[in-house]
Structure 1
Amino acid sequence: MELALTQEILEDSTSKGVVTALYDALSRRDTEKIKNILTPDLEWWFHGPPSDQFLMRLLTGEQETTFRFVPHSISAFGPTVLAEGFDQSSSIAWVHAWTVTDGIITQVREYFNTSLTVTRFGKTGQSDCTISPLHCPSVWESSLPGRVGKSVPGLVLAI
Structure 2
Amino acid sequence: MANKKLVESLYYSLARGDIEVTTALLANDVDWWFHGPRRCQYMQRLLTGEVGPVDFLFVPRRVVEVGEGRWVVAEGWEGDQAYWVHAWAIDDGVITHFREYFNTSVTVRQVGRATGTGVADRGRDAAHEIWHSQAGGSMGRAMPGLVLAI
Q: Compute the TM-score of the two structures, normalised by the length of structure 1.
A: 0.82
Separation in structure 2 between the aligned mates of residue 22 and residue 49 of structure 1, nearest angstrom: 24
Separation in structure 2 between the aligned mates of residue 25 and residue 113 of structure 1, nearest angstrom: 24
Using the TM superposition, give the Cα deviation of residue 124 of structure 1 relative to its aligned residue in structure 2, in angstroms. 6.0
Separation in structure 2 between the aligned mates of residue 130 and residue 35 of structure 1, nearest angstrom: 41
Using the TM superposition, give the Cα deviation of residue 128 of structure 1 relative to its aligned residue in structure 2, in angstroms. 2.3
Runs of 5+ in structure 2 lacking a partner? none
Using the TM superposition, give the Cα deviation of residue 60 of structure 1 relative to its aligned residue in structure 2, in angstroms. 0.5
Q: Which amino acid aligns with 2:7?
A: V
Contact 2:111 2:127 in 1 (8 A): no
Matched, 1:106 2:101: no
Q: Which residue of 2 aligns with 1:25?
A: 13
Q: Which residue of 2 aligns with 1:72?
A: 61
SS of the residue aligned with 1:137? Answer: strand
Q: Which residue of 2 aligns with 1:61?
A: 49
Pair member with larger Rg: 1
SS of the residue aligned with 1:18? Answer: helix
Choose which of 125, 143, 148 in structure 1 pairs with 2:134: 143
SS of the residue aligned with 1:98? Answer: strand
Matched, 1:128 2:121: yes
State the identity as a percent. Answer: 43
Report how many aligned residue pairs link the two structures: 143
Q: Which residue of 1 aligns with 2:39?
A: 51
Using the TM superposition, give the Cα deviation of residue 118 of structure 1 relative to its aligned residue in structure 2, in angstroms. 0.6
CA RMSD of aligned residues (A): 2.2
Using the TM superposition, give the Cα deviation of residue 100 of structure 1 relative to its aligned residue in structure 2, in angstroms. 0.3
Contact 2:88 2:98 in 1 (8 A): yes
Using the TM superposition, give the Cα deviation of residue 137 of structure 1 relative to its aligned residue in structure 2, in angstroms. 3.0
Separation in structure 2 between the aligned mates of residue 80 and residue 113 of structure 1, nearest angstrom: 20
